[in-house]
Amino acid sequence: MAETLIPSEIIKLASEINLKIQSGEAVFNLTIGDFNPKIFPIPKALEQNIIRAYQEGHTNYPMANGMPELRNAISSHLTNSYHLNYSADEILVAGGARPLIYAIYKTLLDPEDVVLFPVPSWNNNHYCHLSQAHGIAIEVNAEQNFMPTAKDLAPYIQKATLIALCSPQNPTGTVFSKDSLTDICNMVLKENQERQGKRKPLFIMYDQIYSELTFDDTQHYDPVGLVPQLRDYVIYVDGLSKMFAATGIRVGWSFGPKTIIDKMRSILSHIGAWAPKAEQMATAWFLNDRKAVLEYLDWFKPEIHHRLSGLFDGITTLKKADYPIDVIHPQAAIYLTVKCPWKNKTTSNGIMLKNQTMVTDYILNVCKVAMVPFKAFGSSDDSEWYRISVGTMKKDEIDHIVSALQKGMDQLD
């Protein structure tokens, strides 16, 4: 398993870009789904709470499933933000979302069990490999905003044990519509009714870690909120990292059926993938300060949206001017989805871009813009779509990035 584990395409690309930057090249690095703390600091109240927690001596082991203060605070947060009612005993805290996703896979899946997931999507192929599950990747197109439908999943539903879903979606920054997600949920509910007592249920892993970052009229929907009868079959993944620019604080949480959550806790206890106790206490105090939470989001969301909409407007202007580029309107998260259909075009020095890998290299080396091809998220090698992440981008870089893409296209024939 270890010998055949595929390295992260995103980390590989980031290493290449960092080498360029270290050698003095000016590159707009829009690859990593992270934040520059100088641009997007964590909430001041959270920072002060972390300092307080260390000063008060919260430096020993936390409880295996998370500090009760934090699990109670998360329970209230879920009620306030999503109208979901989960008790502290149905919540598991870990060192970010990744250990929780791993624990879900290891808890629910035996070797060769089938996992359905759309592509592009983040890391499901790797978690299938780690758990020795059989992944079925379902490529979704731009006409659907890269979000899967019940029709896409239906041909494989009877053989599956887990459907891995994410909304708002990484890498696309798009979301499920109410009707589309309801259709999927009803299909899963019907499948489980037919399986009753005969075989393993079909579960949904629902990653909603970007759920607070929706823009304009976009609304976030979740399975149990739409179809409450699914409660026994949905395990959620959420956390602090994206909605409060706190990726390095490493506090994530999962919630769902207590029987599943308890088994996940047992697995993570052996791994020791706990969030630090001080950060857990600080997060609990912060989430209980509803005013501080809302004040931060009132500042944070417009800052993200300004960058996404600014790039969208600039690229849309290029498209209207007949440049070969396209973009999807940003709905949520910190990502913009851009299409660069430049394959088979010729550069100013007479080199034909024969494949999408050459296009990606051209974007980086000539345009000096680094973004992640959807190939890194499981899409086909010839996908012309890319993810732009704005978490490290300054406002005054918007026009420069658009101009850099324009100059790159001006040199193509």
Residue 38 lies in a domain: no
Residues 242 and 330 placed together within one structural domain of the fold: no
Helical H runs in 341-382?
Answer: 356-365
Sheet holding 134-139, edge to edge: 91-94, 252-255, 234-239, 203-207, 160-166, 114-119, 134-139
pLDDT of residue 313: 98
Residue 390 lies in a domain: yes
Mean pLDDT of 17-40: 90
pLDDT in tens, 140-165: 999 999 999 999 999 999 999 999 99
Residue 164 lies in a domain: yes
Residues 384 and 329 placed together within one structural domain of the fold: yes
Residues 235 and 360 placed together within one structural domain of the fold: no
Q: How far, in Å, CA of 219 to CA of 178, rounded?
A: 9
Mean pLDDT of 112-125: 95
Q: How far, in Å, CA of 244 to CA of 286, rounded?
A: 11
Q: How far, in Å, CA of 58 to CA of 76, rounded?
A: 23
Task: List Cβ neighbours of 60 (8 Å cut-off, separation of 6 or more).
Answer: 277
Say how many CA atoms lie within 13 Å of 369 toward its Cβ: 27
Residues 75 and 133 placed together within one structural domain of the fold: yes
Tell me the one-letter amino acid at 379: S
Distances (CA, A) of 54 to 60, 180, 276, 282: 10, 45, 10, 9
Contact 148, 140 (CB under 8 A): yes
| pLDDT tier at 24, thresholds 50, 70, 90 | confident
E-strand stretches of 157-273: 160-166, 203-207, 234-239, 252-255
Domain total in the chain: 2
Range in 14-18, 152-156, 226-230 with the lowest mean pLDDT: 14-18
Provide the CA 221 distance to its chain's centre, in angstroms.
Answer: 15
Q: How far, in Å, CA of 258 to CA of 89, rounded?
A: 7
Quick one: what percent of the chain has pLDDT higher than 90?
A: 92
Which one of 272, 290, 308 terminates a domain?
Answer: 290
Phi, psi of 94, rounded to the nearest 5 degrees: -145, 180
Residues 285 and 308 placed together within one structural domain of the fold: no
Preceding amide of 120 cis, omega within 30: yes
User: How many other C-beta atoms can be found within 10 angstroms of the C-beta atom of residue 1?
Assistant: 8
Which one of 258, 290, 322 terminates a domain?
Answer: 290
**Strand-pair category, 385-389 with 335-339:** antiparallel
Angle at 30 (CA atoms; ends 25, 33), nearest 5 degrees: 135
Of 138, 96, 378, 368, which is closest to residue 246 (Cα–Cα)? 96
pLDDT at residue 19 is higher than 90: no
Which domain, by its residues, includes 67?
44-290
The sign of the CA dihedral 400, 403, 407, 413 is: positive
pLDDT in tens, 303-344: 999 999 999 999 999 999 999 999 999 999 999 999 999 999
| pLDDT tier at 9, thresholds 50, 70, 90 | confident
Calculate the average pLDDT of the chain. 96
Which one of 260, 290, 320 terminates a domain?
Answer: 290
Quote the tokens at residue 72. 């109670």
CATH number of the domain residue 205 falls in: 3.40.640.10
CATH number of the domain residue 321 falls in: 3.90.1150.10
Residue 205 lies in a domain: yes
- Look at the block and give the residue holding tokens 């995103």: 10
